[in-house]
Amino acid sequence: MSIDTRFAWRGVDANGAAKRGKTIAADATGARAALKREGWTVLELDAVGPAPPPKSSAADVTLFTRQLAGLLRSGLPLAPSLELIAQTPTRGGLPRIVQNVARDITQGVPFSDALARHPACFGPLYCQLVSVGELAGALPTVLARLADDRERAASQRAKLKGALTYPVMVLLLSLLITAGLLVGVVPTFKTIFDGFGAALPAPTRFVLALSDGVARWSVPFATTCVAVGIGCARLLKRSPSAREAADRATLKLPLVGALLRSLAIARWSRALGTLLAAGTPLSDAFDSLANATGNRIFDRATVEIATRLRHGERLAAAMRALGCFPPEVVQPIAVAEESGSLDSMLMDLATLGDRQVDEKIGTFASLCEPVVIVVLGALVGGLVIAMYLPIIQLGNVV
């Protein structure tokens, strides 16, 4: 794979206005052509070193897939379609990636192999489906299905993120309000209580001690929490065993675990069903499913299922032996294996799984609101009651 070069340039536009800048291209000819398309006449062009590897977001890759499927369906050949998409002004490194892919296929590299040279954007499943589409002459259909699947997954992630964002933000806000009251308001009550000359109720003593602890240890505690959070994030990023342990723990959480399990099974079923429907043999399909679910437990189970299949075991028996998949998923697959309709059964299971995920996200969101209200009321209400309890008791004595 060729490495792009960063060029420093100086030029003028049609009105004679001068400008300097930097651009990235495969060579000087490509840099001059790109600047000319933007309306600049290049006066000076100097290479300043290799460009950093291009990066692109998942949303950009989905948009590229949808655009390419549409262009191919309209009858435009692959290479001109890629060139046209590469010239579309977008943020990120997608135009560079598409330009590199177009350059590779003009040199005789298969489209799927050219995509595989950018694994950060195009995973094994993506490249495998594209390869199947190339061989079957159904590349536009495969790309359209890929775009549909990616858009569906992005929609589920957005729903899950939306369901989590509201309660998390409200809980953080309630904690900040409580901390503000403990630091700014409770000490004022303490000076009043000191003049009572009587023993304070236990809740009030607890709140006063908590206020003193927050004022004294809040900064070290917050610093420690940030440090621990950064350390955990780095550990999860660098240690596969830590990520696997975290995924196993999340699957055991109430409500959230069931949601994540349904989401992983739906992704797994759809990915395998799509590969089988495209004509990929079952044993070869598992080579592209290593990271299809986003959950290390299911991804590891996928590798073990592939090993069992190579030793002659049936798919349903292998799934049942690993224990990750519930009986309501394994049993229909066993029946479909006998009837030869495994691909359609997997797609039906994926559709059912997506519906269950949507229902569980809705249930989770509906349960979060009353829980947040109860927690917020308990924090603020308990604090207020603890502070006014001595005053009420003093009024009863008087």
From 152, 175, 193, the end of a domain falls on 152
Same domain, 176 and 210: yes
Same domain, 79 and 138: yes
Same domain, 30 and 19: yes
Same domain, 263 and 349: yes
Q: Return d(Cα 373, Cα 173) in angstroms, integer.
A: 12
The DSSP string of 239-306 is: -HHHHHHHHHHHHTSTTHHHHHHHHHHHHHHHHHHHHHHTT--HHHHGGG-TTSSS-HHHHHHHHHHH
CATH number at residue 80: 1.20.81.30
Same domain, 229 and 376: yes
Query: When comparing pLDDT for 342 and 214, which is higher?
Result: 342
Q: What is the pLDDT of residues 69-127, one digit of tens each?
A: 999 999 899 988 998 888 776 666 788 888 888 888 888 889 989 998 888 888 888 88
Q: What is the pLDDT of residues 262-281, one digit of tens each?
A: 888 888 888 888 888 877 78
From 126, 152, 178, the end of a domain falls on 152
Same domain, 345 and 235: yes
Q: Return d(Cα 223, Cα 237) in angstroms, integer.
A: 21
Q: What is the pLDDT of residues 14-56, one digit of tens each?
A: 777 888 877 777 777 877 887 787 778 888 877 777 777 777 8
Q: How many domains does the chain have?
A: 3
What pLDDT is recorded for position 251?
84
Q: What is the pLDDT of residues 225-250, one digit of tens each?
A: 889 888 888 887 888 788 888 888 88
Tell me the average pLDDT of the chain.
Answer: 82
Q: Which domain, by its residues, includes 366? A: 153-397
Same domain, 137 and 46: no
Same domain, 257 and 226: yes
For residue 357, pLDDT over 80 is answered with yes
From 128, 152, 176, the end of a domain falls on 152
Same domain, 44 and 110: no
Q: 394 falls in which pLDDT band (50, 70, 90)?
A: low
- Report field, pTM of the whole predicted structure over 0.85: no
Q: Return d(Cα 176, Cα 273) in angstroms, integer.
A: 48
Q: Return d(Cα 95, Cα 92) in angstroms, integer.
A: 8
What pLDDT is recorded for position 3?
66
Strand order in the sheet with 5-12: 18-25, 5-12, 41-50
Q: What is the pLDDT of residues 278-311, one digit of tens each?
A: 777 887 788 777 777 878 888 888 888 888 888 8
How far does CA 194 lie from the centroid of its chain? 54
| Percent above pLDDT 70 for the chain | 95
What pLDDT is recorded for position 271?
84
Residue 11: beta bridge partners?
19, 42
Same domain, 278 and 357: yes
For residue 351, pLDDT over 80 is answered with yes
Same domain, 135 and 31: no
Same domain, 43 and 126: no
Q: Return d(Cα 278, Cα 136) in angstroms, integer.
A: 8
Tokens 């490509």, residue located:
30
